Structure 1
Amino acid sequence: MKRFTLNALAAAAACLFASSSFAAATIVIVNGDPANIGFNDPTVVAPVGGNTGTTLGVQRLNAFQAAANKWGATLTSTTPIRVLATWEALTCTSTSAVLGSAGATEVFRDFAGAPQAGAWFGKAQTGKLTGADPDAGSADIRARFNINLGSPTCLAGSPFYLGLDANHGTAVDLVTVLTHEFGHGLGFQTYTNGSTGAQLDNTPSIWDFFLKDTTTNKLWKDMTAAERAASSLKSGKLVWNGPIANSYVNTVLQQGAPALTLLSPASIAGSLQVGSASFGPALSSPGMTGEIMPVVDTAPNLGLACGPLSPLNAAAVNGKIALVDRGTCAFTIKAKAVQNAGAIGMIVADNAPGSPPPGLGGADPTVTIPAVRISQEDGIALKVALAKRTRLHSNVFANLGVNLALRAGADLAGRLLMFAPNPYQGGSSVSHYDVSAFPNLLMEPAINNDLTHEVTPPNDLSFPLLRDIGW
């Protein structure tokens, strides 16, 4: 068995608090805070939302205990899982903040009972699989949480809500944040560097055996470092290939997702991610099907559509879906220009790298056609398909609407989408579900207000993914 230490553990006087003894796994919170700080803060507070603590420190500990109990009642392990936790000043401004972070302290490979040879497993999972703590001198998970949240200089007015009932209002629900971060520490992460593609000690994480790029049809474990780095930027094309998590897609995720579905020619058929417009009619099902034609009104081969279209452009887009380029003028002006020329819909190709494509902002009640934005990469590929066109026809057909063949947060094959934005987001990319999932999932990169404290179907897909990697 080989071990690799990921985090140095802080030296601290530690108090231990165990989760419910009736749980299928015992999760122990190790209090690493000094006197009068964090868990030891003696500030008197009133009980809130089922949290009966009467000091700030005790209420914080009770929230930790609730999250530990939720995972403890869900997991199966005879080896106690220890979480070394502290309250610290983390990065924040008056309008944004790092809420917290957590991850495995050590990883292990090629141990007796490992379900996959040549793969890194986090310490907590290694203890579950071997039936013994592989390093009794270290905690399994290291967790840090923002002690300044809600202060004037740290996400002002949005402190942690310490109640246990999810009735957090405009505050940040601490139990939700904790449940999310504990999920990372339990194994909801890769130990491969997603930005560079470099594997830890030239060995893939167990995560990489299930992470798949649908453009190359390769798993991360089989890629070069350069291929993994490129794959980490392919929003909508990086999926989870685990059979257990994907088996619950239809149970948890909403049917239908906004999409531009290319229908023909067969060589380009598929579904593209879109950013919806705040103006015009909402996308719907069965949507609107039509032929795509580009607007070309400025050199070099740009279609800005910032004014009335020329007669040639107007004839080309009449009765069709107009493809225009982002830039120079408002999206509503572009939409009104192609609508006045007879277009039945509008696609805006982004003019800068980045994915997923953001929405189209603006307001104009006189716009009556649907409009979406696609990424620059998808726009370039679409223009290549449109290059062999006549003045009035391209023979490139698409549906603009809500694709009921998709689940919100999954691809057409029913595989969960993973978070792979361009540019890369350190600490978020690859090791989260994609933000397109709906209902929102606990293990997305941002905490959403509508989340419950559940980690299992029909409410959530956190635990099914952990089952794929061997929990």
Structure 2
Amino acid sequence: MHKTISFKQTLLRSAVVAALCGAGLAQAATIVIQSRDPAGVGFNDTTPVAPVGGNPGTTLGEQRMFIYRYVADVWEQALESDVTITVSAAWEPLACTASSATLGSASAWNFWYGFQGGAPDTWYPQALANKLAKVNLSEGQPDTTGFNNVDIKTQFNINLGKEGCLTGSPFYLGIDGNFGTGVNFVETLLHELGHGLGFSVLSVQTSTGKRINRAGTAYTDDGLPSIWERFMFDNTQGKTWLNMTSAERKASAVNPLGLAWVGPNVVAGAGMLAATPVLKVATAAPGYSGQYPYGTASFGPAVGSGMTLGSISTIAPDTVGAGQGCLPFNGADTAASAGKVVVIDRGTCGFAVKAKNAQNAGAIGVIIANNVAGAAPGLGGSDPTITIPTISVSQGDGVKLRAAITASVPYGMRGKVGYATGSLTTDPSRRAGADALGRPLLYTPNPLVGGSSVSHWDVSASPNLLMEPNISPDLGLVLVPPKDLTKSLLKDLGW
């Protein structure tokens, strides 16, 4: 999960600075972590713990800092810069409930334009601006925020896993990936530092399309563009954000599967994206057979091409406000689900809760239909007792599937009702998470998701990418193709 900070909390500055160094090869980056936790809190928590998963720390604070340093080392080797990158880090109470939580956030803390080495009149996050200018642009500048003009500010949820805060799913502080029902802190931090380094369009207010003005005091229609905008191409409008009005950018931010990244490094690496996985629906009802892109779940058995799911059914709409599939199935829904793959709308309760209720009712599979426009979502959650496959489809495809179920009924044989059936395959003509030209898509659901929309890869990407809006269980530490596209995008920006 990612939550950005308001630009009002960020220092935005202009600079005309000559480079201190002549031409030459940049060195591997150096990242310094500055803790702002008080005594006994966060990194200074002295609670004894046993070493876990390759983390040798013997206190909770030591283990947290070990992961920070471990992830910072990964980023150091991935980047080149002659200027030290400073990260302010803390553990703080963040928004959460028993079933959901803000894991943490990170953001560039200063933005610059008008420096030597950057595009004219274009906002850059400070770590990248420093790299291009070959000097620390904030050195000697007054600081009124209390964060010492750092490049990146981070905070993570100190209450995660406690009662009432994603209960029972704390951050896993090992480095071996065996996080079980916990949240993999290595991947979470790797993702958030990516935002702080520049994987974000923070200088544009996506809800209005307005940009931060030259003075850094307000979002306006005549504000300066971000370096991000020249690589964001809307296939509906046929132009980049750089050449759009505020109203056009606002519309593009909620154009599902319509906004592509056209930077040369990303496009060159996009061949790593797999053929689109699709649910193949077959029915005797005319006009309803076809292919529907699907997303996968972090729980239940693995799914993939060649799997036959079976006959598709659905249950009654929710009428009590609990959310479809969120309560144990009644007699009618049980009868409709037994031996079938049941379509259930997303919403209200967790995906695993819906799947478990369907399994208890005798379903042999579950299809979660999205409740907002956009791609089929990835399905997070955990329940080791779920043994049936679960996939997701888009909101529009969910409507089509229900229509296919109804239309198929008259096409049965020998006095039996007809069914639509589903199996899993791939569409080799389409890359998962890319447009028709093979350019990776940015995350643009409708309605807008503040702090996530536009500043992530779309959830339809396969394999899963580090900078999607959700942390997937199959991520690693490699940031370049054929494993990932994070470094490729940062190179397009100038890293």
Normalised by the size of structure 2, how large is the TM-score?
Answer: 0.66
1:378: how far off?
Answer: 11
Distance 1:372 1:27 in 2: 41
Contact 2:375–2:460 (8 Å) recurs in 1? no
Match of 2:228 in 1: 207
Q: 1:160 aligns with which of 168, 171, 190?
A: 171
The SS at the match of 2:9 is coil
Distance 1:38 1:23 in 2: 32
Q: 1:105 aligns with which of 84, 104, 109?
A: 109
Match of 2:460 in 1: 436
Q: 1:133 aligns with which of 133, 136, 159?
A: 136
Contact 2:254–2:445 (8 Å) recurs in 1? yes
Match of 2:257 in 1: 236
Cα distance, 1:161–1:128 mapped onto 2, change above 3 Å:
same
Cα distance, 1:69–1:353 mapped onto 2, change above 3 Å:
closer
Match of 1:462 in 2: 486
Verify: 1:221 aligned to 2:225, yes or no.
no
1:403: how far off?
Answer: 2.1
1:401: how far off?
Answer: 6.7
Q: 1:425 aligns with which of 433, 449, 467?
A: 449
Contact 2:277–2:294 (8 Å) recurs in 1? no
Q: 1:354 aligns with which of 366, 373, 377?
A: 373
Cα distance, 1:249–1:52 mapped onto 2, change above 3 Å:
same
Cα distance, 1:39–1:276 mapped onto 2, change above 3 Å:
closer
Cα distance, 1:440–1:431 mapped onto 2, change above 3 Å:
same
Alignment of 1:25-424 (within 5 A): 25-114=29-118, 116-136=119-139, 137-190=148-201, 191-201=203-213, 202-250=223-271, 252-258=272-278, 274=293, 354-356=373-375, 375=396, 402-424=426-448
Unmatched segments (≥5 aa) in structure 1 = 10-21, 261-270, 286-303, 307-329, 336-347, 360-370, 380-399
Tell me the matched-pair count. Answer: 359
Match of 1:362 in 2: none
Cα distance, 1:141–1:233 mapped onto 2, change above 3 Å:
same
The SS at the match of 2:107 is strand
The SS at the match of 2:212 is coil
Distance 1:448 1:283 in 2: 16
Deviations 1:199-226 (A, max 9, x none): 1111111011111110111101111111
The SS at the match of 2:204 is coil
Deviations 1:134-185 (A, max 9, x none): 1024000010100001101111111111112222222111111111000000
The SS at the match of 2:56 is coil
Contact 1:241–1:415 (8 Å) recurs in 2? yes
Distance 1:428 1:441 in 2: 15
Contact 2:209–2:247 (8 Å) recurs in 1? yes
Distance 2:199 2:232 in 1: 12
Distance 2:79 2:486 in 1: 11
Distance 1:48 1:23 in 2: 33
Cα distance, 1:273–1:410 mapped onto 2, change above 3 Å:
farther
Distance 1:334 1:158 in 2: 28
Cα distance, 1:6–1:50 mapped onto 2, change above 3 Å:
farther
Cα distance, 1:169–1:79 mapped onto 2, change above 3 Å:
same
AA in 2 matched with 1:122: P
Match of 1:7 in 2: 9
The SS at the match of 2:111 is strand
Contact 2:34–2:87 (8 Å) recurs in 1? yes
Contact 1:272–1:374 (8 Å) recurs in 2? no
Cα distance, 1:60–1:378 mapped onto 2, change above 3 Å:
same
1:456: how far off?
Answer: 1.9
Match of 1:343 in 2: none
Cα distance, 1:37–1:24 mapped onto 2, change above 3 Å:
same
The SS at the match of 1:203 is coil
Distance 1:277 1:56 in 2: 33
Deviations 1:439-468 (A, max 9, x none): 111100011111112222222111110000
AA in 2 matched with 1:253: L
Runs of 4+ displaced beyond 6 Å: 282-285, 330-335, 350-353, 376-379
Distance 1:409 1:50 in 2: 34
Cα distance, 1:121–1:156 mapped onto 2, change above 3 Å:
same
Match of 2:287 in 1: none
Cα distance, 1:149–1:23 mapped onto 2, change above 3 Å:
farther
Match of 1:390 in 2: none
Cα distance, 1:42–1:259 mapped onto 2, change above 3 Å:
same
The SS at the match of 2:210 is coil
Normalised by the size of structure 1, how large is the TM-score?
Answer: 0.69
Contact 2:211–2:224 (8 Å) recurs in 1? yes
Distance 1:32 1:168 in 2: 27
1:272: how far off?
Answer: 9.7
1:257: how far off?
Answer: 3.6
Contact 2:273–2:462 (8 Å) recurs in 1? yes
1:235: how far off?
Answer: 1.3
The SS at the match of 1:248 is helix
Contact 1:257–1:406 (8 Å) recurs in 2? no
Contact 1:6–1:105 (8 Å) recurs in 2? no
Unmatched segments (≥5 aa) in structure 2 = 1-5, 12-25, 140-147, 214-222, 281-289, 298-302, 307-313, 317-335, 344-366, 379-391, 401-423
Contact 1:50–1:163 (8 Å) recurs in 2? yes
Q: Considering only aligned residues, what root-mean-square deviation do their CA atoms show, in Å?
A: 3.6
Cα distance, 1:442–1:23 mapped onto 2, change above 3 Å:
farther
AA in 1 matched with 2:375: P
Contact 1:109–1:120 (8 Å) recurs in 2? yes
Distance 2:296 2:58 in 1: 48
Contact 1:275–1:374 (8 Å) recurs in 2? no
Distance 1:447 1:353 in 2: 20
AA in 1 matched with 2:260: V
Distance 1:238 1:196 in 2: 16
* Higher Cα radius of gyration: 1
Cα distance, 1:276–1:450 mapped onto 2, change above 3 Å:
closer
Distance 1:152 1:30 in 2: 29
Match of 1:311 in 2: none
The SS at the match of 1:452 is coil
Contact 2:90–2:156 (8 Å) recurs in 1? yes
